[in-house]
Structure 1
């Protein structure tokens, strides 16, 4: 897909890595409510490969500028310091069924949490709107902790 975009004139790209997949509610079910280390290991390996590929792609294609968002680090920050971001629930989903609201996907008959602003996860895998807004702020104006080699504001201005 990026090559097709490049061939059609695309030169600026925002690329996001994968987050702590092993900390999603559906995986926590398999590990007594804790993150699954092996799944997170593979998330890290994927992100390393993606970043390497992006650098190579940029060096081989004239004019490409990109911003990489480290979703893994951003999600880790939310999970490790939830109160800093206004969250009280980092393990369970806001919408779903069963333990951690993660035994079944979000359906019309699902349990809904009373305040989704408290939750990092909306369903078995996806962040809530509140978590997503934090990610968007980090993507657009984030420091090199979360974006590299530049953030989206710098990408748009380039």
Structure 2
């Protein structure tokens, strides 16, 4: 994949055919990067929905660590913790957007709550870029992280 090759373009490595995996409930391509002799020199993970998010390394663990920003999670046979969400409604009083790792993230506040800043990634709803200050919304949140948003 060109994204992985581009991240190490000074080395001139060629990528192998990507394998699609479900990593932490997100589609991620894993591939190897080979030199001119066909020897595997590096590994890469590429986000399947945002090709700008790439992690490379000399081992699979190093590539995954680079992809996740150093966060490595493990799984166990124990049940996953159930996360409680809360549903809130109100008018947006302030709204700002920033691009983080190639994905637009929105920060906003709701009327009547001047202390909480809610955070929503553009990937949760395709209508999010069209929401503006003054719009009434219903949001489902886990703490300050928005899980879903509906414009009323």
Provide TM-score, normalisation by structure 2: 0.21
Larger radius of gyration: 2
Provide TM-score, normalisation by structure 1: 0.20
Instruction: Answer 1 or 2: higher relative contact order, Cα 8 Å, separation at least 6.
Output: 1
Compare the two structures and name the one with the higher strand fraction.
2
